[in-house]
Every structure is written in C-alpha cells, then in structure tokens.
Structure 1
C-alpha cells in the first residue's frame, strides 16, 4: 500500500506542485480545496495517485469530509498550504474586525482545524507536518495577512514540542516571491514584479516547484532530525533569522 499525504490548497500553485512531487515520491495524495473544477484539473495533472476533496478547511463542519478521505489509513504527510491574502477596508472598526478575521480564518484556522483533526491519524513514528507561511510573516507589509502567517510559526513550534516524542516533526516553509502562483492574481503589475525580483539576491522570482523541493527534503530521510524550524525559501530577499 502506498504512503498517504494530504495537501490543503492543493489545486493551484505551490500546493499543486507539492502534491505532484508527493505523487512522484510514491504517495497517494489527497488534495483539499474549495473549487471542484480547479481540483479536478489538478488531479488530472498529478495523475492516478491523486484524489480530491472539496471542502473549506476553515469551516469545522466541513472537516469530517476530509477525514472520510483518509479513512483508517495512517497519514504520513500533512501539508497545510491553504491560505490567501484577503483584501479589505479598514474604514471602520467593524471593517477592521471583518478584514482581520477573514485573513485569520484563511491562513490560520485552516491549518489548525485540519491539523487538530488529523493528528490522531498521523504515522507514529515518521509523520511529517508542514505549514506554508510567507516572507510577509518576517518582514511585515501585509497587515493582517502578515500577522496571520506569523501565527503559524508559533503554532508549528507548539506542534513540534507536543508531537516530538511520537516521532512526528512539524516545520514551516516560508516562501518569498513565487510568480507562478495565484497569490498576485489580478493585482500584480510589471513594476511590482520587477520590484520583487530586484529585492532578491538571485534576481529572479521563485517557482512553485522550488517550494515543493523544500517539502521533498523535509519529508525525506534527510529531514527526520528537523523540527520546529522556519525554512526560508525566498532568494535572499530576507536573510536568515
């Protein structure tokens, strides 16, 4: 029986590339997302080792649908990749509350609810939990999005402490500017693209597959002694901290 992995936000960009890499490594991959058409395209691209679950991971009532896809099999890898920059207005306190809650739900609650529900199913020893953060968590600039991604760092450290004795690791990957994702869809400009490229030391944008390669390392035999860490993959835009 093949190993089992689950990727939230697995329909596009980093999530899709990560799911494809996991399939290459011999995993059966369950991808979770809110858009069935996007998920169907991703499954077709990944191949027969992939299946999809349509669910909003920020909604507790929809998490049982995710659990059904796991069944009674041990889960080897959990990649919490769901999340987005949610724009909003801060003209009133009600607007501020709505804006911040939306970003928290999208980026933090998705990871917390999914992980909490799936911890009992994680392989012991050997399970791997990975959370996708952002360069914005370390340098700011994204308002509630930056704050939400920062929250994942502390959460991953708590998971590492809680699950270490069971042989389960928990780490964060913090990408920089990745051009082939949906993150800047409809709001990037040629000037903005160039500014972000110029901010890197390698003078190019990252690619989703490069984030997937960081995941490959963490889930492989070389990553077993790495836990509670923030792994920066940002072309040197923000140096190690």
Structure 2
C-alpha cells in the first residue's frame, strides 16, 4: 500500500501537479479545495480523491481529517494565495479596510496551514512528512501576503522541532514566479512577467512540476534528515548562502 497523502489547494496549479506526482507513483492521494466542481475535475485528471473543504474553517478541517479513514503520512499545505487580488484594495487611511485585507491573507495562508497541520499531526506516524508552502514574497515582506508567507516559514521551522522526536519532518517550499497557475488572477502584465523571468539565473519561469518534484523528494526516504528548512524554488531570483 502506498502512502496516504493529503494535499490542500489541490484543484489546480501547483497543488494539482503535486497530487499527480504522488498518485502516479501509487500513493493514496486526497485533495481539498473550496470549488467542488474544479476539485472533482482535478481528482479525475490526477487519480486523487476529492474532499471539498475550506481549510480556514476549524470545524470543516476537523470533519475533513475525521473522514479520511487512516492517518496521513504526507501532508502538503498548498491552500492559500494572495487574497489582495480578490479586492480593490484599501486606501492608506482606511484602517478597517487594511485590517480586513491583512486578516484575509493571514487566514488564507497562515491560519489554513496551522489548522490543517494541527488536525493531522496527532495521528501522523513516524516517517511522516509535512511540507508547507511559503513564497519568494516572504523575502520582501512589505505586504500582507508576504508577511503571511514569512510567518508560515517561521512557524514551520518551530514545528520541525516539535515533531522531530516522533520521526516526522517539516519543511517549507518557497516558490518564486511559477507559470501555469491562477496566482495572478489574469492580472500579470507582460512587462512584469519579463522582469520576473529576467530576475532568474536560468532565464525561465518556474513550472508547477518544478515545485512538485521538490515536494516529492521531501516526502521521500532520501530526505529523512532534512527538516526545519525553507527551500527556495525560484531559478535563483532569490538566493541564500
């Protein structure tokens, strides 16, 4: 029997590619998302099982995990995205609007991750792997999205220390510009795309498969001593030392 894998935000883009990667090797994959129709299509395409869920909702997350049937071996928390693209944006003097915008991104990215991990970890067996998702935007955290992703990265480092004695790893994958996702909601101007690609060392956009390959490795036996890290997938647009 393959591993039991839960992928949040699995209806498209990176999440769908991750689900496909695990399903192709014979794992039992469950994908979540808020759009039940898109999720069902992704399940058919990838061979995963669909479980509609808003992972910002504690009750929904509890019900999701209770209905899985067996402990999760690999958890990948891809639900999120920049909620600023869904609103016209608050004026600098609109404090209630600013509060709503920040809470939306914190809920979509940080809270969704914390809730899902908290629900899954108690029954995760030794040898389990938790892969959260940050962003290159966390390195320039002047926006609510960047701050939310920076918080995910910091929280994952602390999580690794908590679960490590149980034989569970926890790492964060931080993508740069990844083409073929709905991140920009169709609002990426050609000029900005050119700048994003030019910032890379390999002069190409990333793909969902680039991220999926790293996630697959982090869940493998070869990565059992790799934990508490943020790993960047951005073609060198942001480098570490």
> How far is the alpha carbon of 1:179 from its aligned partner?
0.9
Q: Which residue number in structure 1 is paired with residue 81 of structure 2?
A: 84
> How far is the alpha carbon of 1:138 from its aligned partner?
1.3
Q: Which residue number in structure 2 is paired with residue 150 of structure 1?
A: 150
Q: Which residue number in structure 1 is paired with residue 10 of structure 2?
A: 10
Out of 92, 95, 98, which is 2:97 matched to? Answer: 95
Are the equivalent residues in 1 in contact too, given 2:4–2:27 (CA < 8 A)?
yes
| Separation in 1, partners of 2:172, 2:97 | 30
Matched, 1:64 2:62: yes
Are the equivalent residues in 1 in contact too, given 2:82–2:105 (CA < 8 A)?
yes
Are the equivalent residues in 1 in contact too, given 2:141–2:150 (CA < 8 A)?
no
Find the residue that maps to 2:41 and give its secondary structure: helix
Q: Which residue number in structure 1 is paired with residue 141 of structure 2?
A: 140
Q: Which residue number in structure 2 is paired with residue 163 of structure 1?
A: 163
Are the equivalent residues in 2 in contact too, given 1:139–1:238 (CA < 8 A)?
no
Alignment: residue pair count? 236
Matched, 1:55 2:57: no
Query: 1:178-217 to 2 correspondence within 5 Å?
Result: 178-217=178-217
Find the residue that maps to 1:70 and give its secondary structure: coil
Please list every run of at least 4 consecutive aligned residues from structure 1 whose deviation after the TM superposition is greater than 3 angstroms. Answer: none
Q: Once superposed, what is the RMSD of the aligned Cα atoms? A: 1.1
Find the residue that maps to 2:51 and give its secondary structure: strand
| Separation in 2, partners of 1:235, 1:44 | 31
> How far is the alpha carbon of 1:69 from its aligned partner?
3.3
TM-score of the superposed pair, with normalisation by structure 1: 0.95
| Separation in 2, partners of 1:132, 1:180 | 17
Out of 97, 102, 120, which is 1:118 matched to? Answer: 120
> How far is the alpha carbon of 1:89 from its aligned partner?
1.4
Are the equivalent residues in 1 in contact too, given 2:7–2:30 (CA < 8 A)?
yes
> How far is the alpha carbon of 1:74 from its aligned partner?
2.2
Query: CA offsets per residue over residues 8-40 of structure 1, 9 Å max, x none?
Result: 001110111000001122211110100001101
Out of 55, 71, 95, which is 1:74 matched to? Answer: 71
Q: Which residue number in structure 1 is paired with residue 32 of structure 2?
A: 32
> How far is the alpha carbon of 1:102 from its aligned partner?
0.2
> How far is the alpha carbon of 1:65 from its aligned partner?
2.7
Unaligned runs of 5+ in 1: none
Are the equivalent residues in 1 in contact too, given 2:71–2:120 (CA < 8 A)?
no
TM-score of the superposed pair, with normalisation by structure 2: 0.95
